[in-house]
Structure 1
Amino acid sequence: MKTRILGAALGIAVLSGLLVASPAQARDGVSSARIDTARYGGGSVRATVDFVNRRKVVFRNFTVRDLCPGDNLPVRARAWWRHTDGTNGYGAWKSDTNGCGDDGTNFGNITRRSTKPIAMVWVEVSVYIRPGERTTKISKTRDNQYN
């Protein structure tokens, strides 16, 4: 009797474990990149990545922020994606031109629909380190769990 109860409890525990999010389900989430320069401030980009299916991804609350000290030069950022065939694409630059405020500029949702399956995405931020010269940083990639 005890063996049957133990076996049933173990079976329920195993089945319950199947309902917990697996790593393949955890691929959506926040992507961000940040640059801090000693002399010219810096910048950051942040978005919540939401893969909808094999060919569609939404970058939710795509936010670009200029970090102090202010240099009166814009910070810009954009979204990137890689298709399953190895080709890359990217969105338009979005710039925070409001100075180094606390919130930056939120561009809302940026949706990418493609005729080819999207394998992974990332975000990129670019700041001036001196007039005419920029430095760039990218986030870690996020894989599309539908591929």
Structure 2
Amino acid sequence: MKTRILGAALAIAALSGLLVASPAQARDGVSSARVRVDTGIPGGGALVTTTVDFVNRRKVIFRNFTVRDLCPGDNRPVQARAWWHYTDGTTGKSAVRTDTNGCGDDGTNFGNITPPSTKGISSVYLEVWLYTGSGTKRRNISLSRYNQYVHPGR
């Protein structure tokens, strides 16, 4: 009798574990984009990182949106923004965020960014750029993250 109860409890625990690790959770996570620029200072560049959290079809939160000047510092502006694609084919973007921490280890954390939306959000990505000595900028974008509530299994 105890063996059957133990076996049933283990079977339920195993099934519960499978339900917790659903594919929907796999789309959220850390996203980043990095730019390396040859400024005469090896290793210098720019980095933006955030944790993407899709809440539902219409809401995404970019948690701990951080912009960082990679050391050694080159005293050039580092800027970044978040982008999102709506399900109707249009796009939206956040305000530009600028690292104000110079060559600090942590960069500047702008907290959470939550786009206002009444439309479905299909995917998101990040953009970061670093100004070069010639007044131009070098930029890069992250890979897109797809909203699991709009694109199941993608």
TM range (shorter): 0.7 to 0.9
SS of aligned partner of 1:26 = helix
TM normalised by structure 1 equals: 0.85
1:43 aligns with 2:42: no
Greater Cα offset, 87-96 or 14-23 = 14-23
Indicate the percent of aligned positions where both proteins have the same amino acid: 68
Of 63, 68, 73 in structure 1, the residue corresponding to residue 66 of structure 2 is 63
Residue identity in the other structure for 1:114: S
Residue identity in the other structure for 2:86: H
Of 105, 120, 123 in structure 1, the residue corresponding to residue 123 of structure 2 is 120
SS of aligned partner of 2:25 = helix
The alpha-carbon distance between structure 1 residues 127 and 19, as it changes in their structure 2 partners (threshold 3 A), is same
**Distance in 2 separating the partners of 1:100 and 1:31:** 21
Query: How far apart are residue 48 of structure 1 and its match?
Result: 0.5
**Distance in 2 separating the partners of 1:92 and 1:50:** 19
Question: Which residue is equivalent to 1:133?
Answer: 136
SS of aligned partner of 1:70 = coil
**Distance in 2 separating the partners of 1:80 and 1:24:** 21
**Distance in 2 separating the partners of 1:28 and 1:75:** 25
Greater Cα offset, 57-66 or 24-33 = 24-33
Query: Could you list the runs of 5+ residues in structure 2 that have no partner in the other structure?
Result: 1-7
**Distance in 2 separating the partners of 1:74 and 1:112:** 25
Residue identity in the other structure for 1:76: Q
Query: Could you list the runs of 5+ residues in structure 1 that have no partner in the other structure?
Result: 1-7
Q: How many residues align?
A: 143
Root mean square deviation of aligned Cα: 2.2
Equivalences for residues 1-147 of structure 1 within 5 A: 15-16=15-16, 18-39=18-39, 41-147=44-150
**Distance in 1 separating the partners of 2:134 and 2:45:** 13
Residue identity in the other structure for 1:80: W
**Distance in 2 separating the partners of 1:29 and 1:89:** 20
**Distance in 1 separating the partners of 2:57 and 2:93:** 17
Query: How far apart are residue 22 of structure 1 and its match?
Result: 2.9
SS of aligned partner of 2:129 = strand
8 Å CA contact 2:29, 2:53 repeated in 1 = yes
